[in-house]
Structure 1
Amino acid sequence: MNLTALWSVLNRSWHLLISHRDRWQKSLRKRSRSLQFFALIGLTVLVVSSCNQAPQTGAVDRTAPSSQSTTAERVVKHALGETKVPANPQRVVVLDNAVLDTAITLGVKPVGAALYPGTTSYLGDKTQGIETVGSSPAPPNLEKIVSLKPDLILGIAIVHKQLYDQLSQIAPTVLAEDSGREGNWKQHMTLYAEALGKTEVAKNLLNDYNQQVNQLKQRLGEQLTKTSVSLVAGFQDRLGFYTTGSFPGSILQDVGLPRPPAQEKADIFASQVSREDFKSINGDVIFLIRNAIDPNNTIVDQFKQDPLFSQLDAVKQNRVYVVDGKVWTVGRSILAANRVLDDLSNYLVKQ
């Protein structure tokens, strides 16, 4: 083969090689793009699959919150167990006067409340706009509560224990052991404050209360240990007294005021007395507590007209003072307690 022919063969081979190289590179680029495409599809399927699985986990176990919801909830121990409550409840329903007093004083205005009728006047206009969900201590209106869409319900076990499961289906429910009438109102206030996320506010309010107690002690001076204070009220159709184991009795005990011997009882909060047993209500001072539910105060008025009434020491010394039962017996929390301290100061401190 001559050089011209050889060059011609080599030239064709070179072009053929270049042509195959170009086709091979194009094929490689196509396969690379295909691999990228399928990889993208695989990643998309993986992400979508993960998103679809998230709700299934929550649906299986409603009690297993996500990390975000965990930080937005707190567990509160109460009379009927433990309850997860929102960190910052916005729509609270309260089922007792003491809870209402606590919530309002802590800066939380409930959307609904079940109360003793006509017993919130001492709270002023702070109750305006609060929906009524029943009259305590009767069972509340569950349908009304549902309509308010609460995120927290607060009540008392001695009244609402039987409704606890139903209430818990509506919203997280926290119940104190009793109503605070037994004098343990501070513990109940602390519990409700925890449920409302207002623990520090409650501590400050109780510190202020203790400071007022100490100031009153100082103002009373020698009277503090020499003045026996009797708490008298009408109970249904008979007269009675409140003991050291009652809401008002616990406040007098904080101040250090002596009580008549018959009223020094911590195991009961109140007791009825017969006409023949008027000595049990005798004291240097008598606070006549108007019945919060009986505006006519019939029993107390009858008591004041009884001839035996004039034989009591407080009557002889003209130291019988009529006070508001809505504050002294129904409020059963911090705002009412402060009002009781005001009454004690106004009536007992010598001007």
Structure 2
Amino acid sequence: MKWGTKPASMATATLLLCLTLLLSACSSGATPANGSAAGSNTPAAQSLNAANQEAGTTAGSSNAGSLASATKSYTDSKGEVTIPVNPERIIDLTGSAIGNLLVLGVKPIAAADDSLKNPFHEGQLDNIVNIGVEPNAEAILKLDPDLILTFDYIEESQYEQLAQIAPVVRLKYGAGSPQDLLLEFGKITGKEDAAQQWIEEWNAKIAGVKPQIAEVVGDKTVSILQPYAKGIYAWGNKGGRGGEILYGDLGLKAPEIIQTTLIDGEGFGGDLSLELLPEYAGDYIFTSNWGWDDGDANIVYDSNVWKSLPAVKNNRVYFIDEKGSYYNDPISLEAQLEFIVESFLGSGK
């Protein structure tokens, strides 16, 4: 189970009991972090208390100058959160967005298991603690974070418990473009200028290759298809796998059903049977077995339906990286763009 997904009731109960006992033992009467200056167990809170005592004020005083300098207000997907101005002990529980921190030169102290599996981040993840797949209250508490990042699909009960350890920012999953998400990470970490610089450089790269790719592809359609044990997934312009680049930045055309349901619509991925594959298949296909299950992708690739597709017959099928494809952080986007450019321009098709 990934962070933010709905656990079984027993798992949730165990987590809540464990964290409640830990918090009671370590900080009886602690004030929740979100909605206040900071959790009492965080470095930010400790520094605030020290500053307030020296000034003869409390953290809740309206004239506490130290509060303004040590914390800031940030509006996440659920409302206003008080977070450190310069967080130094971040725990990333997004499972996929850690590259937004790394590209800004910010290394979290810990991250969820999925965050540490991206091959495009190799060499940048040293000394980051793996929190694991299951929520580990004791591990999070012992790491003494000053900020916790997650997506908004986290269960409310989990959020409430984490907010007693440190401020929690719940980012809106799938809202806006990857560039929009990077800007939010810039606001959170105080690296807005670095985020904007990356976006400008990215736009320049797109501007350089977009006309060349448009000349090759023309009005032909492009699909992103993922075989798995029970069928096939088709993807649009959300959720990684190169979709943000192909349909967003490069503005390439999708088959009508993908455009309607997955790009113009709110869907992320369309689950379809093998018989429906021709309806979703474009003139160009990007594909890979992402390994979501133990299914044999060759059941699809060796089928007569697959072999009859125009993209297959015309040698316009490109196998993308199966491990790094579903990430859409800046580092991953750069690697995906390189592959897309090579696929279209390197092949001369």
Same fold (TM over 0.5): yes
Q: For residue 306 of structure 1, what is the aligned residue in structure 2?
A: 303
The residue number in structure 1 matching 2:148 is 153
Higher-RCO chain (CA-CA 8 Å, sequence separation at least 6) = 2
Partner of 1:316: 313
- Counterparts of 1:108 and 1:65 in 2: how far apart (Å)? 31
- Secondary structure of the corresponding residue to residue 282 of structure 2: coil
Q: Tell me the residue number matched to 1:336.
A: 332
CA-CA distance at 1:280 after TM superposition: 2.4
| Letter aligned with residue 298 of structure 2 | D
| Contact preservation (8 Å) 1:241, 1:270 | yes
What is the CA distance between 1:191 and its match in structure 2? 1.6
Alpha-carbon displacement from aligned partner over 1:111-135 (angstroms, at most 9, x marks no partner): 1001328732221021121111121
Distance (whole Å) between structure 1 residues aligned to residue 60 and residue 217 of structure 2: 57
Residue equivalent to 2:114: 116
Instruction: Report the CA distance shift for 1:292/1:113 in structure 2 as closer, same or farther (over 3 A).
Output: farther
**Equivalent residue for 1:80, pick from 66, 78, 81:** 78
Q: How does 1:24-35 map to 2 (within 5 A)?
A: none
| 1:226 aligned residue | 219
RMSD over equivalenced CA pairs, Å: 2.5
Counterpart contact for 2:213–2:344, Cα < 8 Å: yes
Gaps of 5+ in 1: 1-50
The alignment's TM-score, normalised by the length of structure 1, stands at 0.76
Q: Give the match for residue 201 of structure 2.
A: 208
Mark the runs of 5 or more structure 2 residues left unpaired by the alignment.
1-50
User: Do the aligned partners of 1:119 and 1:293 also contact (CA within 8 Å) in 2?
Assistant: no
Query: Cα gap change, 1:53/1:195 in structure 2, threshold over 3 Å: closer, same or farther?
Result: closer
Aligned residues: 291
CA distance in 2, matches of 1:73, 1:225: 51
Identity of matched residues, %: 25
Structure of higher CA gyration radius: 1
Say if 1:272 and 1:207 are closer, same or farther in 2 by CA, change over 3 A.
same
Q: State how far apart, in whole Å, the 1-side matches of 2:52 and 2:308 are.
A: 83
Against the structure 1 CA distance between its residues 65 and 340, is the aligned structure 2 distance closer, same or farther, given a 3 Å change threshold?
farther
**8 Å CA contact 1:228, 1:285 repeated in 2:** yes
| CA distances 1:129-162 after superposition (whole Å, capped 9, x unpaired) | 1111121xx5x21211111111111110112543
Quickly say closer, same or farther: Cα 1:194–1:312, change in 2 above 3 A.
same
The Cα shift of 1:246 comes to 4.0
- Give, in angstroms, the shift of residue 63 of structure 1: 7.1
Q: 1:239 aligns with which of 229, 232, 236?
A: 232
Q: Note the 1:220-299 alignment, pairs <5 A.
A: 220-235=213-228, 237-247=230-240, 248-253=242-247, 254-264=249-259, 265-266=262-263, 267-294=266-293, 298-299=295-296
Matches within 5 A, 1:91-130: 91-116=89-114, 119-130=117-128
Which string of whole-angstrom CA distances, capped at 9 and with x for unpartnered residues, describes residues 270-316 of structure 1?
A: 1011121111232221111331545x7x3422110111111101100
